[in-house]
A = this chain, B = another copy of it.
């Protein structure tokens, strides 16, 4: 069985077929969620049978994992050597990602739906998202530390909170934008918020609100 994890490179025809199935799975899981989106529906979209999908991916869970990795691959596809940048360049990359996301509602919706669904009981994507956020928070925190060092700033104790917040605001804006794209500018709002958070880490200001 061709599972894509065997280590052997699939033939070009197989690769094209798998890509087609992945795109249909992104659309279906985005439109219905994982539990409600069925393999039969995905198969119908690409003119295959349920068994045909299983031939390519092994199981519905395995297809889900490939969908999640597919999006992560497309996120780094535009980076030199597919390498996550550090320091200020990472934040520029995140802003560019937000601009890119504003052009691909389908894959954004799949991620919004699947990440939230992953907190429900025994969800097969839970470990993926837990580990993905931990990795991303680590990368953002590292970029903050590099910027602090470059600018001769003592590392503030806000770095971990800021790292989580940057990912959070990008995610949260996606939900509002999917619900009402005319009211929320995903790209511009993400850029504003990322810059606000970076500014507060690098040169914290007296807080205008007082302690809650």
Interface residues of A (CB under 8 A from B): 30-33, 35-36, 88, 91-92, 95-96, 99, 109, 112-113, 115-121, 126, 129-130, 133-134, 137, 147, 158, 160-162, 164-165, 167-173, 175-176, 178-180, 183-185, 188-200, 202-203, 205, 207-210, 212
Contacts and interface: CB of A to CB of B under 8 A. Distances in A.
Nearest to A136: B176
A89 B164 CA distance: 25
Nearest to A99: B212
A32 B36 CA distance: 12
A193 B194 CA distance: 10
Task: Give the dominant DSSP class at A's interface.
Answer: helix
Nearest to A109: B119
Contact of A199 (B173, B176, B207): B207
A35 B116 CA distance: 14
Number of this chain's copies in the assembly equals 2
Nearest to A31: B121
A113 B109 contact: no
A129 B116 CA distance: 15
Contacts of A133: 175-176, 179-180, 183
Contact of A183 (B120, B134, B179, B185): B134
A168 B193 contact: yes
Contacts of A210: 92
A120 B175 CA distance: 11
